[in-house]
């Protein structure tokens, strides 16, 4: 009898990288990849940028899964798991036994559940199909409101501007991209306003109004914003609904140990947006990261670890990193800016267009955010790995001729 396959649920970035790592390690047994979407793995960042704007086509998002020797089960949803019996349930009633399982089901956008939820023009953006559908709407010249000013809200607003559309961005937080802290948020607010985005921060949305289709977005302060499209960008939740009753421990995601192994079932591993694991920077607290680099790094490690016995598996300790592109500028972060005690603008170019902000937690460097300064960020990443005291970082930057320069008052405020 052939041994049961290694199964991967989620045919996207983390799932693909896991399958590639399994093959790269020389494993030649069956690998079955189950994916709810009909597409082979594709990359999502262009969906809110080039693909949405219409300057990048669908095929450019392809991640090259075709060449990989695995059994693709695409357009098939996993509906349940019996972790004790090592068996997946698939839509349609099929059961799939596995030897090892990697859960890579990612995350799913938080929906708008308030008044107006079912109106035509209330949309979320996660999949290629979502992006192509929104692009079609953009071609009709709508007035756009993004409900939420996180990464997706900001990128959609920037792209809508590039398409020549009228766009308003609303968030209950006091500034855009709250995950990167108030200093970067103040800079981002200036950036968006400078490009013509109408920004409403510190105020929530009460209702989306319309008769069959979106006509306006009503804010908690009574403002009525006329609109044709409301892009709901309220963050994402880990896709674990299909795992309820599976026996797996689920807290804010698939709860794993440092080696990305489920804390309740050593034959199950997780990777990417869905994985909650203790990172050295979180002092044992489970962390979930919803960014591209993390899905790649965790996918690879989960693939390699799945071939090993639990005691042989390596931990995932890479410093998290991410990027976002808005108005032709690349914003990048390393570390965990949302957990910082305080943040300072440590470097800026004379025109204030390039910046580095550094964050401190308990006296140590904990995160850095850069605008248009990718090479500088590599240095900060190494210092985070070394747990360098923050004041040592400040002194080193002052003495470093390769740094961008001291932050002018207007930028630092």
- Contact positions toward ligand FAD, by CB under 6 A? 9-15, 34-37, 44-45, 47-48, 77-78, 104-107, 125-126, 152, 239, 242, 272-273, 290-293, 295, 322-324
- Please state the closest distance from residue 230 (CB atom) to ligand FAD, in A: 16
Coil, strand or helix at 178: helix
CA distances in angstroms from 102 to 111, 152, 358, listed in the order given: 26, 27, 35
- Please state the closest distance from residue 382 (CB atom) to ligand FAD, in A: 20
- Please state the closest distance from residue 390 (CB atom) to ligand FAD, in A: 25
**255 phi/psi in degrees, rounded to 5:** -75, 115
Dihedral sign from CA coordinates of 13, 15, 16, 17: positive
DSSP string, 316-329: --PPPEEEEEETTE
Q: Which is nearer to ligand FAD, 95 or 398 (CB)?
A: 95
- Please state the closest distance from residue 216 (CB atom) to ligand FAD, in A: 25
Q: Which is nearer to ligand FAD, 216 or 295 (CB)?
A: 295
- Please state the closest distance from residue 49 (CB atom) to ligand FAD, in A: 7
DSSP string, 320-384: PEEEEEETTEEEEEEE-GGG-SEEEEEEE-TTS-SEEEEEEETTEEEEEEEES-HHHHHHHHHHH
Strand order from edge to edge, sheet including 321-326: 321-326, 329-335, 364-371, 355-361, 342-348
- Please state the closest distance from residue 254 (CB atom) to ligand FAD, in A: 11
Q: Which is nearer to ligand FAD, 195 or 291 (CB)?
A: 291
| R_g of the chain, CA atoms, integer Å | 22
- Please state the closest distance from residue 9 (CB atom) to ligand FAD, in A: 5
CB of 187 within 8 A of CB of 407? no
Q: Which is nearer to ligand FAD, 125 or 345 (CB)?
A: 125
CA 190 to chain centre: 24
Q: Which is nearer to ligand FAD, 35 or 148 (CB)?
A: 35
DSSP, res 3: P
Write out the E strands in 183-320: 198-201, 205-210, 214-219, 224-226, 229-232, 236-238, 254-255, 268-270, 275-278, 286-287
End-to-end Cα distance, the chain: 68
- Please state the closest distance from residue 154 (CB atom) to ligand FAD, in A: 10
Q: Which is nearer to ligand FAD, 73 or 348 (CB)?
A: 73
Q: Which is nearer to ligand FAD, 327 or 406 (CB)?
A: 327
- Please state the closest distance from residue 407 (CB atom) to ligand FAD, in A: 25
Q: Which is nearer to ligand FAD, 216 or 260 (CB)?
A: 260
CB of 311 within 8 A of CB of 321? no
Q: Which is nearer to ligand FAD, 123 or 407 (CB)?
A: 123
Location of structure tokens 């990718």:
374
């Amino acid at each position: 009898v052939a041994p049961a396959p290694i199964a991967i649920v989620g045919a996207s970035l983390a799932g693909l990288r896991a399958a590639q790592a399994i093959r790269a390690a020389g494993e030649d047994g069956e690998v079955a990849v189950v994916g709810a979407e009909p597409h082979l793995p594709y990359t999502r960042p262009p969906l809110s940028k080039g693909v949405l704007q219409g300057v990048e086509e669908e095929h450019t998002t392809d991640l090259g899964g075709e060449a990989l020797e695995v059994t693709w089960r695409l357009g098939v949803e996993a509906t349940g798991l019996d972790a004790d019996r090592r068996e997946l349930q698939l839509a349609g009633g099929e059961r799939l036994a596995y030897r090892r399982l990697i859960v890579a089901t990612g995350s799913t956008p938080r929906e708008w559940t308030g008044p107006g939820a079912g109106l035509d023009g209330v949309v979320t953006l996660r999949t290629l199909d979502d992006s192509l559908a929104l692009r079609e709407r953009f071609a009709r010249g709508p007035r756009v409101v993004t409900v939420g000013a996180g990464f997706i809200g900001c990128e959609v607003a920037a792209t809508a501007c590039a398409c020549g559309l009228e766009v308003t961005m609303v968030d209950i937080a006091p500034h855009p991209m709250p995950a990167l802290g108030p200093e970067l948020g103040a800079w981002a607010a200036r950036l968006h306003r400078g490009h013509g985005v109408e920004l409403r921060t510190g105020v929530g949305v009460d209702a989306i109004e319309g008769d069959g289709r979106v006509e306006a977005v009503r804010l908690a302060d009574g403002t009525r914003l006329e609109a044709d499209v409301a892009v709901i960008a309220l963050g994402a939740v880990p896709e674990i609904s299909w795992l309820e009753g599976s026996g797996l421990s689920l807290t804010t995601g698939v709860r794993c140990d440092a080696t990305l192994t489920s804390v309740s079932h050593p034959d199950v591993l997780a990777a990417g947006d869905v994985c909650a694991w203790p990172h050295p920077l979180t002092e044992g607290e489970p962390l979930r990261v919803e960014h591209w680099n993390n899905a790649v790094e965790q996918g690879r490690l989960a693939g390699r670890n799945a071939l090993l016995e639990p005691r042989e598996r390596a931990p995932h300790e890479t410093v998290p990193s991410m990027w976002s592109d808005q108005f032709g500028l690349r914003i990048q972060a390393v570390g965990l800016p949302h957990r910082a005690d305080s943040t300072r603008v440590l470097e800026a170019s004379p025109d204030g267009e390039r910046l580095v902000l550094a964050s401190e937690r308990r006296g140590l460097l904990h995160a850095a955010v850069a605008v248009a300064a990718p090479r500088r960020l590599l240095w900060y990443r190494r210092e985070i790995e070394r747990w360098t005291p923050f004041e040592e970082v400040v002194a080193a930057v002052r003495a470093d001729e390769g740094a961008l320069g001291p932050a002018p008052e207007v930028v630092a405020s």
